[in-house]
Amino acid sequence: MHTLNFWHKLHIYRKEVIVLALLCSSFLPARAQLSQEINLPNHDNRRIHYGAVFGLHSRSYNIRYSEAFVSDPSLNTLHSITPLKTTGLSAGFIFNFRFADNLDVKLNAQVGIYEYQVQYRYFDGANEIVDTQLQEPVNAEFPMLVKYKSQRRKNFRMYLVAGINPSIEASARNKREGVEEILLTKGINLSAEYGFGMDFYYPYFKFSPEIRFSNGLLNIIDQQNNKYSIGIERMVTNSVTLYFHFAG
């Protein structure tokens, strides 16, 4: 059984966090940070801002085995179900509302292109058989987040962000129900998201790299009771994402 908590999440994705942090640091706009001039001095006085967001994801499923995994005779040769980490992309628009001096509400509308892989390993006598189920969904996502900001230091500030992300599957090439027996998932998901980022103020726009974790809250396994779903009681999505925000 898997435990979903912050420290376990950091342990699982420690390599991805290091890589994303290095990528993030490579994009630090030193010019904006070290400039003696204050860029966009009245930017934070406006109530509403608009912008664009791009994301690079490392994603996987997190599963909990069912009782049938141990007791069902049809699964006697199945010895493991292993979700693999894969990558994805997203892009969309930002609506940012300044609620207080150090508190914003962020609403995003974005499209995510993902890939999920789950390996089923069977022992057939002396041989091991690996059956990989591939899913390639395209999701419409609507993150709703609260952003808590530190005090601005010249052209730089830090922030924390947390909220929820409802998503709807717009299309998926894996959904061939009735054609063959495959792993199927539900088309609606809800995730809790939390992370941290940095605002850098340029003369004409604000650039904000951000690392965000996501834990799925809904069980998305489609219990059609075929050989792929019967061994799984619960399946949720997990991800760590490097976002790039651009706001005018």
Closest CA to 3 of 161, 160, 241, 234: 234
- The DSSP H or E segment spanning 57 is strand 48-65
Percent helix, strand and coil across the chain, each rounded to 5? 15, 55, 30
Pairing of strands 232-247, 48-65: antiparallel
pLDDT recorded at residue 174? 52
pLDDT recorded at residue 87? 93
How far apart are the C-alpha atoms of 145 and 43, rounded to whole Å?
Answer: 20
pLDDT recorded at residue 12? 47
pLDDT recorded at residue 95? 95
**How far, in Å, are 13, 29, 47, 145, 178 from residue 19 at the CA level?**
10, 18, 34, 24, 41
Count of positions (residues) in the chain: 248
Q: Is the dihedral of CA 152, 54, 21, 202 positive or negative?
A: negative
- Any residues with CB less than 8 A from the CB of 156 and at least 6 apart, and which? 32, 33, 198, 199, 200, 201
Domain range summary for the chain, segments of one domain joined by +: 6-36+49-247
pLDDT recorded at residue 2? 38
Q: What is the dihedral of CA 168, 240, 214, 197, to 10 degrees?
A: -110
CB 150 within 8 A of CB 189: no
Per-residue pLDDT of the chain in tens (248 residues, 90 and over written 9):
333 444 444 444 455 555 555 555 554 554 545 556 889 888 888 999 999 999 999 999 999 999 999 898 888 899 899 999 999 999 999 999 999 989 999 999 999 999 999 999 998 777 889 999 999 999 999 999 999 999 999 899 999 999 999 999 987 555 555 556 889 899 999 999 999 999 999 999 999 999 999 999 999 998 777 889 999 999 999 999 999 999 98
pLDDT recorded at residue 18? 52
Q: Which CATH architecture has domain 6-36+49-247?
A: Beta Barrel (2.40)
How far apart are the C-alpha atoms of 211 and 103, rounded to whole Å?
Answer: 18
The whole model's pTM is what? Answer: 0.82
- Any residues with CB less than 8 A from the CB of 75 and at least 6 apart, and which? 68, 69, 227, 230, 231
pLDDT recorded at residue 44? 86
Closest CA to 185 of 170, 200, 169: 169
Q: Is the dihedral of CA 75, 78, 83, 86 positive or negative?
A: negative
